[in-house]
Amino acid sequence: MVGYWQLMLADFRVAGGRPSHENHGFSPDGSRLIFSSNFEAKKWLENHVYVMDLKTQKVTRLTSEGWNEHAIFSPDGRSIVWMSNVGNRSGGTDYWIMNSDGSNKRRLTFFNEKGHPEYAGRKTVVADLAWRPDGTAFAGYTGGKVLTESSSDPSRIVLVELRLK
């Protein structure tokens, strides 16, 4: 069987390094693209999660404050897990979950909050993640200095099991 494909290009060159865009992937049904960007940012450390309906090309912002990225649709397409620094005074980030329309945002991890079982004892930054196919868990990266090379800075892969259903 032979398939047909079409390559589409977009020019995102901008002066001064802004805005920046990071594509995170498609919704499971292929109708939406999820990405993060600072194109509407009013402050330096502001980045938001967006979805674009590929049929209408309508872009919808899903987050409203802080630094947000690494957003991935759940396997059933009803939820999105992403990284955010909202609520973290240490400058670290944690995983959050929301409905795919941006409603019902809830913090899932507390790597940066004293008194929580998963508290890392230092600033922790979370990043990319991958869902378990049945949507009951995801594996994600945690580390302290993801933007620098440091052999003394421990990083790890964590498994976050969800009991949301």
Structural domains of the chain sorted by starting position, each given as residue range(s) with its CATH number in brackets: 19-161 (2.120.10.30)
Q: Which amino acid is at 129?
A: L
- pLDDT at residue 71 is higher than 70: yes
Q: Which amino acid is at 143?
A: G
Give DSSP secondary structure letters for the chain.
--------------GGG-S-EEEEEE-TTSSEEEEEE-TT-SSTT-BEEEEEETTT--EEE---SSBEEEEEE-TTSSEEEEEE-TT-TTS--EEEEEETTS-S-EE---TTSTTSTT--SS--EEEEEEE-TTSSEEEEEEES-TTS--TTS--EEEEEE----
CB 70 within 8 A of CB 24: yes
CB 125 within 8 A of CB 136: no
Encode burial over 117-156: b for 16+ CB neighbours within 10 A, e otherwise. eeebeeebbbeebebeeebeebebbbbbebeeeeeeeeee
Strand order in the sheet with 125-131: 125-131, 137-143, 156-161
- pLDDT at residue 160 is higher than 60: yes
Which of the four pLDDT bands, split at 50, 70 and 90, describes residue 12? low
Q: Kindly report, residue by residue over 15-66, the tens digit of the pLDDT.
A: 565 677 778 899 999 999 999 998 887 777 789 999 999 999 999 999 999 9
Q: Kindly report, residue by residue over 104-124, the tens digit of the pLDDT.
A: 999 999 999 999 988 888 888
